[in-house]
Copies of this chain bind each other. A is one copy, B any other.
Amino acid sequence: MAENRLMTGKDAIREALIEEMRRDKTVFLLGEDLEQATFGVTDGLIDEFGAERVRNSPISENAIIGASIGAALTGMRPVAEIMFADFLMDAMDPIVNTMAKARFMTGGQAKVPMVIRTPSGAGLSAGAQHSQSPEALFMHIPGIKIAVPSTPYDMKGLLKTSIRMDDPVLFFEHKMLYYEGGEVPDGEYTLPFGKADVKRQGKDVTIIAVLAMVKKAMMAADMLAGEGIEAEVIDPRTLNPLDMETIINSLKKTKKLITVEEGARTGGIGAEIAARVAEDALDYLDAPIKRLGGVDCPIPFSPVLEEVMYPTEDSIAAAVKQLLG
């Protein structure tokens, strides 16, 4: 068996990029400031792969995504970086109206094997335009696969799969996870889309969490364990496809569901999960579903305000106790 190394999220992503670029000459990177990247993910890659394959781009999000689509249509596997997920809004048209639909509109002639990597999430007092978690928006757009990894292991494995996938992928990297450590095996591995990961087993309540909220959910589960409550923590890892089977199987056991996300609660990931459960697994529930998420509010600069925007280990644990109580 491969040995494990302790690695940050940033390095895990970087390693996935390096391995895939070495493996496949059609993989290349484009995006703003890749040589001295805001979060450092791509720093130095230009030394190995050259300026042809690590393409520092002007501040032109539409042109970056458009060029990625066109390159993907013609034999390349572009990995575009959008510097902050907030700036996806700047390229929403090519993402929604071309990237997601090209294959369908051409009756299957086209394929668009591209990845958009982008950091989402708050925690840096970066304010309303640099802290958003817009993952849920894209669940409503058929044609886009979506990855939301929560550990360095998942980041590396899912990014490698994303790059090899023939459908377009939106790959969210939570800013705070860039610097968190985790174990990553030596050697080659990939992770499948549509397969949730049960991060912790438990019988009393099912907590679905994504991205940085997985860690908070795990901390809450630890706290609850001290009080004799066994929470099962499930990380869907991809939002499209979404592995409802694992979620519903857990519910059969726990009969209680809490969803936890950082994006705005209304219209969020939890809404879709809750709705599917209310449609397909209502009978397993013996308590109301509880959705935790970002407050329906633009994200404040002030750290004391930013702190109260999001679920915490305490609020998750409190919600569980309320539900069980």
A296 within 8 A of B: yes
Q: Do A279 and B291 touch across chains, with their CB atoms under 8 A apart?
A: yes
In angstroms, Cα B79 to Cα A290, docked, is 39
Q: Do A89 and B92 touch across chains, with their CB atoms under 8 A apart?
A: yes
Given contacts A89-B97, A93-B92, contact A142 B264 (CB under 8 A): yes
Q: Do A274 and B278 touch across chains, with their CB atoms under 8 A apart?
A: yes
A308 vs chain B, min Cβ distance (A): 15
Which of A97, A105, A278 is packed against the most chain B CB atoms within 10 Å? A278
**Which residues from 90 to 136 on chain A have a C-beta closer than 8 Å to any C-beta of chain B?**
90, 92-93, 95-97, 100-101, 104-105, 127-129, 134, 136
The residue from B87, B90, B128, B290 contacting A279, defined by CB atoms under 8 A apart: B290
A1 within 8 A of B: no
In angstroms, Cα B95 to Cα A104, docked, is 28
* Chain B residues, Cβ within 8 Å of A287: 282
* Chain B residues, Cβ within 8 Å of A143: 298
* Chain B residues, Cβ within 8 Å of A282: 285, 287-289
* Chain B residues, Cβ within 8 Å of A298: 100-101, 104-105, 142-143
In angstroms, Cα B275 to Cα A266, docked, is 9
In angstroms, Cα B291 to Cα A300, docked, is 34
Interface size class of A (residues with CB under 8 A): 35 or more
Q: Do A296 and B93 touch across chains, with their CB atoms under 8 A apart?
A: no
**Which residues from 139 to 196 on chain A have a C-beta closer than 8 Å to any C-beta of chain B?**
139-143
Given contacts A267-B272, A285-B282, contact A140 B136 (CB under 8 A): yes
Smallest Cβ-Cβ distance to A130: which chain B residue: B97
Q: Do B288 and A280 touch across chains, with their CB atoms under 8 A apart?
A: yes
Q: Do A137 and B137 touch across chains, with their CB atoms under 8 A apart?
A: yes
In angstroms, Cα B285 to Cα A95, docked, is 38
Residues of chain A touching chain B, judged by Cβ–Cβ distance below 8 Å, are: 86-87, 89-90, 92-93, 95-97, 100-101, 104-105, 127-129, 134, 136-137, 139-143, 240, 263-264, 266-268, 270-272, 274-275, 277-280, 282-283, 285, 287-291, 296-298, 300
**What 4 pairs across the A-B complex have the smallest Cβ distances?**
A140-B267, A92-B92, A274-B275, A139-B267
